[in-house]
C-alpha cells in the first residue's frame, strides 16, 4: 500500500472541501486575491472538478491600491483558466476618495475590503465564498472552522460556529446567511511553497527578488508602484533588490531584501527565515486582537 505524503493528504482534503460546497450550496464564489494562497486554491479547484471547469466564478474585491503586476497577473490568469472573473470596487469608497496614505490602513481596509466584499456578496447573491486563509497565519484563525457561518449582516459570531467532526461539514443555512469556506485551513506557509514547487503553479512575479524602487517607512520597505505614492521632500526611491512574502495593497505591504529569484531560492530563504509572513502586513499591527475584530465585522 502506497503511503500518501502530507502534501497529497492536504491536497485531497482541500479538494474534498471544494466539492462539498459545490454539491451543497446554490451559488458559490471563489475570492481570488491574486496572492500565492489564491493561486494554490485556484489550482486545487481546477483539479477538483477536472475535466469540467470549476462551476463558480472568481471574485476579486479590488481596493484600487493593488500592485500593478497583481492586476496584470489576475487578468492573465482568468484568461488562462477560462473561468469568469468578477471585479468589484466599492463605489462609495472611490467617491470618498479613500486613500491609505491619507486615511490610514484601518479605515482603508474597512471600506475598500470589508465593505466592498459585503457589497459584492450581496449584489450577486453568493451563498458561499471560498477564501484562502490558513489557520497558521494568525492566532484567532487557529480556531476558525473550515466552514464558517455568517449572519445576513456578514457577521462572525464565535459562539455560533459549528463543531466540525471527521470530514462532515454542516453547510445548512437560512436565507440570507452565507458561508465562508477555507479549503487551505490546514496548510502552512511552507506547505504552500512546497506545493507551488511540486505542481509548478504560476505566481505573481513580485514574489521573486528583483531591483525595485523602494522607500523606507517606519522600518517597512514600500514599493513606489505608481505616482499616487506621496514622497516627503528630499525622499528619493532607491533601487533595491527585494521581494514580497505576502501581497496586498502596495502602500500597506512591506518588501524584504532578498536575492531569491527562483522558487528553490525562496524555499531556501524560508528554511532559514526567522520572521513570520504577516510581519509584512501593516494591518495586523493595529492593536491586539485586531484580526479577530476585523473578522467579526466581516473581513475575511
Partner 1 sequence: MNAELSPPATDVNTWLQAQSRKDLLRFITCGSVDDGKSTLIGRLLYESRLLLDDQLEALESDSRKLGTQGDELDFALLVDGLAAEREQGITIDVAYRFFDTERRKYIVADTPGHEQYTRNMVTGASTADLAVILVDARKGVLTQTRRHSYLVSLLGIRRIVLAVNKMDLVGYSARVFEDVERAYRQFAARIGLTDIVAIPVSALCGENIIEVGASMPWYRGPTLMQHLESVPIQDDAGAQPFRMPVQWVNRPNQDFRGFAGLIVGGSVRPGDLLRVLPSGFTSRVARIVTANGDLQQAVAGQSITLTLEDEIDISRGDLLAAAAAPASVSDKFEATIVWMSDEPMLPGRPYLLKCGARTVTAAVAQLKYKINVNTLEELAARQLELNEIGLVNLNLDQPLAFDPYTLNRDTGGFILIDRINNNTVGAGMLQAALRPAENVHPPRANRSVQKNQRACVLWFTGLSGAGKSTIANLVEKKLFGMGRHTYLLDGDNIRHGLNRDLGFTDADRVENIRRVGEVARLMTDAGLIVLVSFISPFRSERRLARSLLGPGEFFEIFIDTPLEVAEARDPKGLYRKARAGKIRNFTGIDSPYEPPENPEMHIDTGRVSAEQGAEQVIGHLRIAGMIDRDWVFIP
Site residues for partner 1, 188-207, by CB under 8 A, read 188, 190-191, 194, 197-198
DSSP 228: T
Rounded to the nearest whole angstrom, what is the least distance from the CB of residue 102 to partner 1 in the complex? 27
Stretch that binds partner 1, among 57-65, 85-93, 120-128, 186-194 (CB under 8 A): 186-194
143, 155, 228, 238: which one binds partner 1 (CB under 8 A): 143
Q: Is 142 in the site for partner 1 (CB under 8 A)?
A: yes
d(C-alpha 127, C-alpha 119), whole Å = 13
139, 155, 228, 238: which one binds partner 1 (CB under 8 A): 139
Question: What is the grid cell recorded at 87?
Answer: 471585479
91, 125, 158, 202: which one binds partner 1 (CB under 8 A): 158
DSSP run (H or E) holding 26: none
82, 166, 200, 218: which one binds partner 1 (CB under 8 A): 166
Quick check: 256 and 112 in contact, CB under 8 A?
A: no
80, 175, 236, 274: which one binds partner 1 (CB under 8 A): 274
Rounded to the nearest whole angstrom, what is the least distance from the CB of residue 299 to partner 1 in the complex? 15
Q: What is the layout of strands, in order, in the sheet containing 220-223? A: 220-223, 210-217, 238-243, 256-257
Q: Is 228 in the site for partner 1 (CB under 8 A)?
A: no
Q: Which residues between 27 and 56 bind partner 1 (CB under 8 A)?
A: 46-53
Measured from the CB atom, the residue of 65 and 156 that comes closer to partner 1 is: 156
Which long-range contacts (C-beta less than 8 Å, at least 24 apart) are formed by 197-200?
A: 197/263, 197/264, 197/267, 198/7, 199/43
d(C-alpha 103, C-alpha 87), whole Å = 23
Q: Is 77 in the site for partner 1 (CB under 8 A)?
A: no
d(C-alpha 239, C-alpha 237), whole Å = 7
Amino acid at each position: 500500500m502506497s503511503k500518501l505524503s502530507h502534501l497529497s493528504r492536504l491536497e485531497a482534503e482541500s479538494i474534498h472541501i471544494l466539492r462539498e460546497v459545490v454539491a451543497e450550496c446554490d451559488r458559490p464564489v471563489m475570492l481570488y486575491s491574486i496572492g500565492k494562497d489564491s493561486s494554490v486554491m485556484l489550482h486545487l479547484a481546477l483539479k477538483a472538478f477536472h475535466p469540467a471547469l470549476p462551476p463558480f466564478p472568481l471574485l476579486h474585491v479590488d481596493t484600487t491600491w493593488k500592485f500593478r503586476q497583481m492586476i496584470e497577473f489576475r487578468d492573465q490568469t482568468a484568461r488562462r483558466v477560462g473561468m469568469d472573473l468578477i471585479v468589484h470596487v466599492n463605489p462609495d469608497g472611490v467617491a470618498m476618495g479613500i486613500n491609505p496614505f491619507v486615511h490610514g490602513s484601518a479605515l482603508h481596509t474597512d471600506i475598500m475590503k470589508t465593505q466592498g466584499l459585503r457589497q459584492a456578496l450581496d449584489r450577486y447573491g453568493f451563498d458561499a465564498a471560498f477564501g484562502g486563509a490558513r489557520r497558521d497565519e494568525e492566532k484567532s484563525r487557529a480556531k476558525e472552522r473550515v466552514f464558517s457561518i455568517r449572519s445576513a449582516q456578514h457577521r462572525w459570531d464565535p459562539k455560533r460556529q459549528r463543531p466540525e467532526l471527521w470530514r462532515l461539514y454542516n453547510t445548512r443555512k437560512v436565507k440570507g446567511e452565507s458561508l465562508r469556506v477555507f479549503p487551505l485551513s490546514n496548510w502552512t506557509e511552507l506547505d504552500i511553497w512546497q506545493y507551488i514547487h511540486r505542481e509548478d503553479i504560476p505566481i505573481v512575479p513580485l514574489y521573486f527578488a528583483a531591483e525595485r524602487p523602494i522607500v523606507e517607512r517606519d522600518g517597512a520597505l514600500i514599493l513606489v508602484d505608481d505616482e499616487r505614492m506621496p514622497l516627503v521632500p528630499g525622499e528619493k526611491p532607491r533601487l533595491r533588490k527585494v521581494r514580497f512574502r505576502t501581497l496586498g495593497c502596495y502602500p500597506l505591504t512591506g518588501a524584504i531584501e532578498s536575492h531569491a529569484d527562483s522558487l528553490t531560492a525562496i524555499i531556501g530563504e524560508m528554511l532559514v527565515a526567522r520572521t513570520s509572513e504577516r510581519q509584512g502586513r501593516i494591518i495586523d499591527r493595529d492593536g491586539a486582537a485586531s484580526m479577530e475584530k476585523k473578522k467579526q465585522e466581516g473581513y475575511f
